[in-house]
C-alpha cells in the first residue's frame, strides 16, 4: 500500500521500557524488522533485543535509514533527533513508569554482580524524567514524523486492545491477533519494591545514550492554541545545558565554519542563481490579472510577462489555501503532507479540530522532594507532514527568510528566520475573536465567528465596560481589564481609558496598537495588542476591538524563529498583527464594521508586512527570501460581488462605492511588484505566485441535506435538522457525511469510531454511487449542475495519509461552493441556497477552474507549471537535486535568458 512504499516505522523509548517487546509484536504481526542479532538473548530479554548496531552511530552516519522503507527499526529515544528529516516516520514510543524502568535495570545489573549508590540512581532517574519531558515536546514539533505513545503496562494487561490500536495507527498490513499472542504477561514483573542495593549509574545505559542526553537537550517552549490556554515553562536545567552548549559551540566554531565554507563552495559550483525571491500573493487570479494587464492597468506585471514568464499555475486538489501552500512548501501532494482543509473531524467524536495543529492541556506533577505539586501546561503538535524546502536548503548552508507562508504555526526551525502565518492563534486561543462593545446587543449574529458582544454601561456622556480575561490551562483564567470612556460631543470623539492609560478615538479611524496586560498570578503577566475602532457614537454606541494578538515585542509564545525575530521587527517597525487570519472578515460579515473599515484594516496590515519584506530583501542578499501577502485573498473574498450585478449578496447592499476595489487591489500589488523588481539583481530569480485563483460564490450546496434526503445520513429519532457539527446524527445508520469545505467522508468501519461501512468492496461501491448521483444533481433555480465532478481521493492523491482525506473531493462548478451550513456539519431544509454574505467570492471549487498565477523575471520553458513544482525547482536552482519523496518536477528556465 501507499504507507509501505515510503514510510519508516520506528520503535523508541528509554532502555527497559518495552521496546524489544514491541519489536517482537511487529515481527509476529508480519512486519519486517531490521536487526542484526548481534546482541544475543539473555535472561533479561529471552526473545532477543531486536537491535541493529549501526543505530548507535546514528548521529554520525544516518544513511542506512533511507534504505528501510516499510520496515521497523528500534531507535532509543535520545537518538530520534538524528533521524534524517527527508524521510517520513511512524513512531511507536513506549512509555513505562520510571520507577519500573529503574527497578528493571537494577535487577539486570544485580544479575551481573554490579552495585552502586541509590543517590546515583536518583540522579539518573531525574535525568530520564527531564529527557522524556523534552523529547515529547520535540516530537510534537516535528513535521516529518507521526507518533503514538504506547503504555507498556496497558499493553501487557490487554494485548488485543493494544495491538488493535497499534495496527490502526500504523495503517500497515499487520495481523493484530498474532501481535497480541506474543505478549507474555509474566514479563511485567518489576513492580515490587526495590531492594536497597547500590547501582553503578554509569553502567545503566550505553554511552551513546548518555552523550545524547547531555549534548542534545533542547529548550521547551510553551504554546497557546484554539481551545487551549496559556502556559509558561522554565527549567534550571535549560540554562545549565544552554551554557554548556554555548561553550561547546565556541570551541568548535572554527571547525564548523571551515566545513561549512567548503560545503558552500561545492554547492556554489552547481547553483544557477545567487538569490531566489518569492512574492506570494494569495488568491491572485490569472484571468483577472490578464484582463487588467490588457487594459494597461498593471505595467509591472506586463513587464514581467513580456520579458520573463506569465503562466497559470496549477493548484492542488482541493483548491484551498492551507492545502496549496503546504504543497508549495514541501513539493508533495496532499496525500503526503496530510493537510486537506482548514478543519477536519476528530474520528473519535466527529467534532471539529484544526488540520494543521493539535493542541492539548497536559497535566503533570512537579516534584519538590516529598512534595507533589500538580500543574497544567499547553502542548502543541504540528500536524503537517513532509519537510519544507527551506529546511532542505538549510541543511546545505543556504540561508532563508520565510515570512508568513500559511501553515507555519508553530514556527519551523530552519537555517534562517521565519514568521508564522495561518493558524497562529490570538491570545484567546481562537483563530480570530473580535469583541464588540455596544449599547444594543444584537438579537442575532452570523453565528459562525467567535466574536463576543459585550454591553456597555452608559450614564450621560460616560461609559464603562470590562475586557474579559484570558483562559489558562486547567480551567483558570486571568483577571479582566477595566475600560472607561467619555464621549466628546463637540469633536465627535471618544476619550478612552484602559488601565489608566488615555487614548482618543475618532469615528472611522483605527487606534494605534494598544497593549493589554493580563495578570496571570503572582509576578506573571501576559501581554497582547489590539486596535480599537469607534464605529458609532449615537444613536447606537458601537466600539470594535480587534482579536487580541500575541505581542511581537514580548511574545507570550513563539510566533517567529528565532524566538526574538518578531521582537526585532517590532522594535524596528512598530507593533504588528501576529494572528494567522488577521483581516477580520467575520466582523464585516456580521456587520460590526463596514466595508471601508475592512479595507483600511487590510491595507494597514499589508503595509506592515511590506516593511518586513523590504527589510528581508535589504538584509538577505544571498539565499532565499519568501513573503506571502494575504491581502489579495481577503479583499477578493469580501468584494467579489461587485464584479457581478446578479450576485445574491448584492441584495440590500451598496453596489457602487467599492466597485473598483478589486481593480485597485491588483494595481496596488502591481506597484509592490515594481518596488521588488528594483531590488532584483542580474543573478536573482524573482517568482510571483499565488496558490489559487478566484471565482464567484453565489450559491451554497448543503451536501448533508442532500445526504439526509437520499438516505445516506440519518438523524436520531425525534431530532430535527439544524444541529451544528453533526449534532443528533444517528451514526448506526449513517453511511456518509459532509464536513468542511472540501467533500464527503464515508462513515468507515475501523476508521471512524462508529463506522458502519466495510473498508472493502462496500466502500468503493458507495463512493462510486455517491459520485454518480452528486454529479447528476441539478439546481432547480436555474437548471445548472452545481457539481462539475466528484473525485475519489485514492484516484487523485497518493501517499500514506490519503485515508485522512475526504473520500470524495467535490469539484464545484463556477458560482457554487459548500454552503455555510454544510461547512459546519449542519443539515437544513435546503440543498441549494443563495449566498447573501459579504464573503461573496471563493476558490473552493473544481481546481481546474481556479489556477493560480506564475510570473518570473526569467523565461520559462514549461507552459503548465504547478504549485507543487516550486520546491524542487528552487532546490535545483541552488544546486540540489529533488528529494525522492517529492512529487513536483523541477521547472526549466530558458538557457541564457536574461532578467528583465
Distance (Å, rounded) from C-alpha 109 to C-alpha 199? 8
Q: How many CA atoms lie within 13 A of 202 on its CB side?
A: 0
Q: Rounded mean pLDDT of the chain?
A: 86
3-state class (DSSP) for residue 540: coil
| Chain centre to alpha carbon of residue 676 | 29
What is the pTM for the complete model shown?
A: 0.76
Alpha carbon of 243 to those of 215, 247, 564: distances in Å?
A: 11, 6, 18
CA distance to 289, 657, 668, 693, per residue, from 664 (Å): 12, 13, 6, 17
SS3 139: helix
pLDDT of residue 37: 72
Residue 874 neighbours by CB under 8 Å, 6+ apart: 276, 278, 389, 393, 624
Q: What pLDDT is attached to residue 366?
A: 63
Q: What is the DSSP string of 155-192?
A: HHH-HHHHHHHHHHHHTS---HHHHHHT--GGG----S
> For residue 96, which phi and psi values (nearest 5 degrees)?
-145, 140
- Alpha-carbon separation of residue 629 from 148, 282, 605, 613, 715 (angstroms): 36, 6, 9, 10, 43
- On the 0-12 / 13-18 / 19+ scale of CB atoms within 10 A, 359 is buried
The CA distances from residue 448 to 231, 309, 550, 585, 821, in Å, are 28, 41, 23, 11, 9
Question: Buried (b) or exposed (e) across 565-593, using 16+ Cβ within 10 A?
Answer: bbbebbeebebbbbbbbbbbbbbbbbebb
Judge contact between 774 and 783, C-beta under 8 A: no
Alpha carbons 129 and 771: distance in angstroms, whole number: 52
Q: Which three cell numbers stand for residue 852?
A: 493560480
In whole angstroms, give the CA distance from residue 743 to residue 716: 23
Read off the DSSP letter of residue 345.
E
pLDDT of residue 836: 96
Residues of the chain where predicted confidence (pLDDT) is lower than 70: 1-5, 38-48, 105, 107-120, 141, 186-246, 248-249, 252-253, 255-268, 359-369, 372-378, 442-449, 473-475, 895-900
- Enumerate the β-bridge partners of residue 624: 276, 400
Instruction: Report yes or no: 609 and 404 within 8 Å, Cβ to Cβ.
Output: yes
The grid coordinates listed for 489 are: 460631543
Question: CA geometry: angle at 843 spanning 839 and 847, to 5°?
Answer: 170
pLDDT score recorded for residue 218? 35
Which residues have a Cβ under 8 Å from the Cβ of 172 and sit 6 or more positions away?
Answer: 1, 3, 4, 7, 9, 31, 70
Cell numbers given for 780: 432547480
CA 874 – CA 882 distance, rounded (Å): 9
Supply φ then ψ for residue 794, to 5 degrees.
-70, -15
pLDDT digits (tens, 9 = 90+) for 261-308: 666 666 667 889 999 999 999 999 999 999 999 999 999 999 999 999
Cell numbers at 109, concatenated: 545489573
Q: Write the CA distances from 888 to 164, 418, 615, 850, 871, integer angstroms.
A: 36, 24, 31, 19, 7
Q: Could you tell me the three cell numbers for 12?
A: 523508541
With cell 443528533, the residue in question is: 728
Q: Does 719 sit behind a cis peptide bond, omega within 30 degrees of 0 on the bond before it?
A: no
- Sequence-distant (≥ 6) Cβ neighbours of residue 626 within 8 angstroms: 277, 278, 280, 390, 400, 401, 402, 403, 405
At which residue does the C-alpha cell 548507535 appear? 56
> Can you give the three-state secondary structure of 665-708, one letter per residue?
HHHHHHHHHHHHHHCCCCCEEEEEECCCCCEEEEEEECHHHHHH
Residue 38 falls in which region: left (phi positive, over 0), alpha (psi -120 to 50) or beta = alpha
> Alpha carbon of 787 to those of 693, 776, 790: distances in Å?
18, 8, 7
| Nearest of 447, 352, 226 to residue 725 by alpha carbon | 352
The DSSP H or E segment spanning 852 is strand 852-856
Which single residue is written with the C-alpha cell 501576559? 526
Predicted confidence at residue 222, as pLDDT, reads 27
What pLDDT sits at residue 611?
Answer: 98
pLDDT for res 248:
64
**Phi, psi for residue 659 in degrees, rounded to 5:** -60, -30
What is residue 361's three-state secondary structure? strand
Q: What's the Rg (C-alpha) of the chain?
A: 29
Amino acid at each position: 500500500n501507499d504507507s509501505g512504499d515510503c514510510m519508516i516505522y520506528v520503535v523508541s523509548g528509554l532502555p527497559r521500557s518495552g521496546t524489544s517487546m514491541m519489536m517482537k509484536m511487529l515481527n509476529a504481526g508480519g512486519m519486517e524488522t531490521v536487526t542484526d542479532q548481534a546482541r544475543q538473548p539473555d535472561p533479561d530479554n529471552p526473545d532477543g533485543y531486536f537491535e541493529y548496531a549501526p543505530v548507535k552511530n546514528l548521529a554520525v552516519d544516518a544513511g542506512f535509514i533511507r534504505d528501510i522503507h516499510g520496515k521497523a527499526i528500534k531507535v532509543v529515544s535520545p537518538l530520534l533527533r538524528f533521524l534524517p528529516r527527508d524521510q517520513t516516520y511512524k513512531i511507536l514510543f513506549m512509555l513505562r513508569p520510571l520507577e519500573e524502568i529503574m527497578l528493571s535495570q537494577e535487577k539486570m545489573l544485580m544479575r551481573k554482580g554490579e552495585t552502586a549508590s541509590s543517590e546515583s540512581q536518583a540522579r539518573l532517574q531525574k535525568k530520564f524524567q527531564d529527557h522524556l519531558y523534552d523529547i515529547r515536546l520535540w516530537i510534537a514539533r516535528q513535521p516529518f514524523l507521526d507518533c503514538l505513545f504506547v503504555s507498556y503496562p496497558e499493553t501487557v494487561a490487554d494485548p488485543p486492545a493494544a495491538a488493535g490500536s497499534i495496527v490502526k495507527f500504523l495503517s500497515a498490513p499487520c495481523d493484530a491477533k498474532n501481535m497480541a499472542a506474543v505478549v507474555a504477561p509474566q514479563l511485567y514483573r518489576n513492580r515490587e519494591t526495590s531492594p536497597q542495593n547500590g547501582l553503578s549509574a554509569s553502567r545503566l545505559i550505553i554511552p551513546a545514550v548518555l552523550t545524547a542526553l547531555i549534548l542534545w537537550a533542547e529548550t521547551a517552549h510553551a504554546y497557546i492554541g484554539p481551545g487551549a490556554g496559556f502556559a509558561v515553562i522554565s527549567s534550571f536545567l535549560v540554562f545549565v545545558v544552554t551554557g554548556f552548549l554555548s561553550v561547546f559551540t565556541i570551541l568548535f566554531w572554527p571547525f564548523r565554519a571551515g566545513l561549512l565554507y567548503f560545503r558552500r563552495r561545492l554547492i556554489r559550483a552547481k547553483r544557477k542563481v545567487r538569490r531566489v525571491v518569492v512574492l506570494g500573493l494569495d488568491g491572485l487570479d490569472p484571468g483577472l490579472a490578464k484582463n487588467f494587464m490588457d487594459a494597461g492597468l498593471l505595467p509591472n506585471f506586463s513587464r514581467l510577462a513580456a520579458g520573463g514568464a506569465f503562466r497559470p499555475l496549477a493548484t492542488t486538489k482541493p483548491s484551498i489555501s492551507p492545502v496549496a501552500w503546504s504543497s508549495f512548501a514541501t513539493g508533495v501532494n496532499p496525500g503526503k503532507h496530510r493537510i486537506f482543509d482548514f478543519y477536519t473531524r476528530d474520528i473519535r467524536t466527529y467534532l471539529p479540530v484544526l488540520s494543521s495543529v493539535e493542541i492539548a492541556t497536559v497535566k503533570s506533577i512537579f516534584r519538590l522532594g516529598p512534595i507533589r505539586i500538580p500543574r497544567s501546561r499547553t502542548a502543541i503538535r504540528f500536524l503537517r507532514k513532509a519537510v519544507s524546502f527551506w529546511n532542505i536548503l538549510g541543511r546545505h548552508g543556504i540561508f532563508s527568510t520565510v515570512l508568513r507562508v500559511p501553515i507555519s504555526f508553530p514556527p519551523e526551525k530552519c537555517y534562517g528566520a521565519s514568521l508564522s502565518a495561518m493558524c497562529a492563534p490570538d491570545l484567546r486561543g481562537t483563530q480570530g475573536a473580535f469583541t464588540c462593545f455596544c449599547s444594543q446587543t444584537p438579537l442575532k449574529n452570523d453565528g459562525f465567528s467567535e466574536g463576543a458582544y459585550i454591553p456597555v454601561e452608559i450614564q450621560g456622556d460616560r461609559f464603562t465596560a470590562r475586557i474579559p480575561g484570558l483562559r489558562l490551562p486547567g480551567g483558570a483564567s486571568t483577571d479582566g481589564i477595566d475600560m472607561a470612556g467619555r464621549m466628546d460631543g463637540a469633536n465627535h470623539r471618544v476619550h478612552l481609558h484602559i488601565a489608566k492609560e488615555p487614548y482618543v478615538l475618532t469615528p472611522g479611524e483605527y487606534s494605534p496598537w494598544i497593549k493589554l496586560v493580563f495578570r496571570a498570578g503572582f509576578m506573571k503577566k501576559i501581554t497582547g495588542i489590539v486596535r480599537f475602532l469607534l464605529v458609532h457614537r449615537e444613536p447606537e454606541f458601537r466600539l470594535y476591538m480587534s482579536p487580541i494578538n500575541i505581542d511581537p515585542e514580548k511574545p507570550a509564545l513563539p510566533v517567529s524563529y528565532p524566538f526574538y525575530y518578531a521582537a526585532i521587527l517590532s522594535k524596528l517597525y512598530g507593533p504588528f498583527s501576529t494572528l494567522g487570519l488577521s483581516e477580520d472578515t467575520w466582523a464585516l460579515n456580521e456587520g460590526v464594521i463596514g466595508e471601508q473599515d475592512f479595507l483600511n484594516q487590510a491595507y494597514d496590515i499589508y503595509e506592515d508586512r511590506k516593511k518586513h519584506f523590504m527589510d528581508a530583501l535589504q538584509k538577505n542578499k544571498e539565499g532565499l527570501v519568501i513573503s506571502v501577502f494575504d491581502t489579495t485573498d481577503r479583499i477578493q473574498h469580501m468584494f467579489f460581488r461587485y464584479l457581478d450585478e446578479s450576485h445574491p449578496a448584492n441584495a440590500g447592499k451598496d453596489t457602487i462605492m467599492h466597485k473598483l476595489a478589486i481593480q485597485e487591489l491588483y494595481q496596488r500589488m502591481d506597484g509592490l511588484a515594481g518596488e521588488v523588481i528594483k531590488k532584483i539583481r542580474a543573478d536573482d530569480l524573482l517568482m510571483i505566485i499565488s496558490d489559487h485563483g478566484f471565482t464567484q460564490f453565489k450559491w451554497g450546496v448543503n451536501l448533508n441535506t442532500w445526504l439526509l434526503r437520499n438516505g445516506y445520513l440519518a438523524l436520531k429519532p425525534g431530532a430535527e435538522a439544524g444541529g451544528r457539527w453533526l449534532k443528533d446524527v444517528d451514526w448506526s445508520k449513517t453511511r456518509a457525511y459532509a464536513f468542511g469545505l472540501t467533500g464527503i467522508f464515508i462513515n468507515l468501519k475501523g476508521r471512524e469510531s462508529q463506522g458502519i461501512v466495510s473498508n472493502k468492496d462496500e466502500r468503493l461501491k458507495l463512493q462510486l454511487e455517491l459520485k454518480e448521483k452528486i454529479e447528476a444533481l441539478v439546481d432547480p433555480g436555474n437548471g445548472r449542475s452545481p457539481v462539475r465532478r466528484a473525485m475519489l481521493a485514492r484516484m487523485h492523491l497518493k501517499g500514506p495519509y490519503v485515508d485522512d482525506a475526504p473520500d470524495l473531493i467535490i469539484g464545484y462548478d463556477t458560482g457554487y461552493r459548500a454552503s455555510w451550513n454544510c461547512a459546519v456539519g449542519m443539515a437544513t431544509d435546503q440543498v441549494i441556497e443563495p449566498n447573501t454574505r459579504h464573503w461573496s467570492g471563493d476558490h473552493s471549487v473544481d481546481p481546474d477552474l481556479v489556477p493560480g498565477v506564475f510570473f518570473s523575471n526569467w523565461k520559462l520553458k514549461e507552459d503548465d507549471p504547478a504549485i507543487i513544482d516550486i520546491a524542487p525547482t528552487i532546490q535545483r536552482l541552488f544546486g540540489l537535486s529533488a528529494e525522492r519523496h517529492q512529487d513536483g518536477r523541477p521547472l526549466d528556465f530558458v538557457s541564457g535568458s536574461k532578467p528583465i
